[in-house]
Amino acid sequence: MAKPSRELSLEETLTLTFDLYSKNFVKFFIPILVSSFLIGILGNIILSYFMNIPQIPPRATPQEVWSLLFTYLIGILPTAFTLGILSWIISAIANGVCTKCASDLIEKGSASLEHAFNFTVSRLVPLLIGAIIAGVLTLLGLIALVIPGVILAVMFSLVVPAIIIENLGAISSLSRSRILVSNRWLKTFGLTLIIGIIAGITSFIASLIAMPLGSFRWLLGSIISAFVGPISPIAMTVYFYSMLARHQQGSPPPP
């Protein structure tokens, strides 16, 4: 796949995304599958902790009930928080690996999972810091009036490619993402919406298929979800190069 020399339409972006994915399926599928599997295990551990609620004596006073629940929460929350952080880090690494692989395939025509993994780990700190800042600002925007949160989510949609591809820091990547999507808010929102719909439909289908498996339904669900997981980082990488080409062609700066 050649590096885009001009701005791509949404149709072209999605076509190149699926073309890149289909021709390099293993490189993109493996990191997401491993990530989904590990996150599924951690999620089940957290769920088992929450399901293990201590039995309350039939004649317990309200004070005793609150004391039992407080002790239970004090014991479980640190574990749940730690496992949640681990899941977040694993997900960040998997998405970073897919972004790096997509970038190398676009620029060099080949990619190495080992190199992509090592590079992503070396950029893990700015990836996490950037995700925290973007996530907090987006959440505050959603709490405020919803629309500002959507705008901020669109504004920071290219943070990961900026960190991986241009080797920027967390703060610089936020600014870079804002600049690249400027004057293309609706187009960027449309791309993220399409990707979100695909992921949502796939997750729903996966949950229906895996439901009869009982306690092992998370395993099949993780495998099915892993098929669609790489689409988002690949699409955002292709879109990053598309927006980069637009700016390099000398498009007028936003007001």
Q: Which domain does 18 fall in, by range? A: 10-248
pLDDT tens-place string over residues 26-69: 999 999 999 988 888 887 777 776 666 666 667 767 777 777 77
pLDDT at 198 over 70: yes
When divided into structural domains, the chain yields a total of: 1
- Write down the mean pLDDT value for the chain: 85
User: Percent of the chain having pLDDT more than 90?
Assistant: 44
Of the CA atoms within 13 Å of residue 76, those in its CB half-sphere come to 16
Confidence of residue 215 (pLDDT cuts 50, 70, 90): low
Residue 252 in tokens? 């007028």
49 is a domain residue? yes
Confidence of residue 17 (pLDDT cuts 50, 70, 90): very high
253 is a domain residue? no
Confidence of residue 255 (pLDDT cuts 50, 70, 90): very low
2 is a domain residue? no
pLDDT at 211 over 90: no
Record the pTM: 0.85
The contacts of residue 111 (CB under 8 Å, 6+ apart) are: 24, 27, 100, 101, 102, 104, 105
What pLDDT score was predicted for residue 213?
67
* Mean pLDDT lowest among 3-7, 28-32, 120-124: 3-7
185 is a domain residue? yes
4 is a domain residue? no
pLDDT at 224 over 90: no
Q: Average of pLDDT values for 203-226? A: 75
pLDDT tens-place string over residues 127-150: 999 888 888 888 887 787 677 788
